[in-house]
């Protein structure tokens, strides 16, 4: 029994070429399509890098806010970290403004560069919404900390006024007469 072997390589090559021609409009490679796909990849990469940087910056700002919260809750009458609180508040305000601008820029990247397919576009929208939500939470926390600081400053001012009033009252009254007699109320006067 002799088996017949037939070389079907040519048929295979023709089938592959036929399949390729159904996928691509022409049988030759389309450089325009390759450029579009590499452009899309570059846009996605740019969006992802910008989003990652914004996320890191929000986290850094939240860390600064945690430090500010600790300082703002300080109720010491004489050791108030006012300068540090003021400086940190200024830095956080600048950070929040820059982050808002960065989120606007991310939105423009998302809109202008249209990330093509629906799934990528949905993902980009979800990332943007998540970052906006995180930034909003951070900004609201910052406003809350500033409110706490304001209340603590009013409380400290009230305490200072009470302290200085009590001190002033004691000075106007003069020295305690029991100390003038030398006895101070003990058993003692004349021995």
Nearest alpha carbon to residue 53 among 110, 117, 114, 131: 131
Instruction: Give me the residues of the chain with pLDDT under 50, please.
Output: 24-30, 191
Stretch (H or E) spanning 173: helix 118-173
39-169: what fold? Methane Monooxygenase Hydroxylase; Chain G, domain 1 (1.20.58)
Q: What is the CA radius of gyration of the chain?
A: 37
> Per residue in 138-188, pLDDT tens?
999 999 999 998 888 888 888 878 877 766 655 665 555 555 555 555 555
How distant, in Å, are the alpha carbons of 17, 33, 38, 155, 187 from that of 26?
A: 10, 12, 20, 79, 118
pLDDT, position 35: 61
State how far the Cα of 97 lies from the Cα of 76, in Å rounded to an integer.
Answer: 31
Global confidence as pTM: 0.63
pLDDT, position 135: 93
Q: What is the mean pLDDT of the chain?
A: 78
State how far the Cα of 61 lies from the Cα of 65, in Å rounded to an integer.
Answer: 6
What would the two tokens of residue 182 be?
């030398």
Burial 83-113 (b: 16+ CB within 10 A, else e): eebeebbeebeebbeebeebbeebeebbeeb
pLDDT, position 77: 66
State how far the Cα of 142 lies from the Cα of 62, in Å rounded to an integer.
Answer: 9
pLDDT, position 182: 56
Helices (H) and strands (E) in the chain, counts: 5, 0
User: What is the length of the chain?
Assistant: 191
């Amino acid at each position: 029994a002799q088996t017949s072997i037939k070389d079907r390589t040519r048929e295979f090559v023709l089938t592959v070429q036929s399949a390729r021609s159904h996928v691509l409009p022409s049988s030759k490679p389309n450089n325009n399509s390759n450029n579009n796909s590499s452009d899309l990849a570059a846009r996605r990469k740019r969006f992802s890098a910008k989003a990652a940087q914004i996320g890191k910056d929000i986290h850094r700002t939240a860390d600064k806010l945690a430090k500010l919260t600790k300082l703002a809750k300080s109720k010491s009458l004489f050791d108030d970290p006012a300068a540090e609180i003021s400086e940190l508040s200024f830095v956080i305000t600048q950070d929040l403004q820059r982050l808002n601008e960065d989120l606007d820029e991310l939105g423009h990247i998302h809109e202008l560069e249209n990330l093509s397919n629906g799934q990528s576009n949905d993902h980009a929208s979800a990332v943007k919404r998540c970052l906006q939500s995180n930034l909003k939470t951070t900004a609201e926390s910052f406003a809350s900390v500033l409110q706490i600081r304001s209340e603590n400053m009013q409380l400290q001012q009230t305490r200072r006024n009470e302290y200085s009033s009590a001190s002033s009252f004691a000075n106007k009254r003069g020295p305690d007469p029991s100390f003038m007699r030398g006895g101070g109320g003990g058993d003692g006067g004349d021995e």
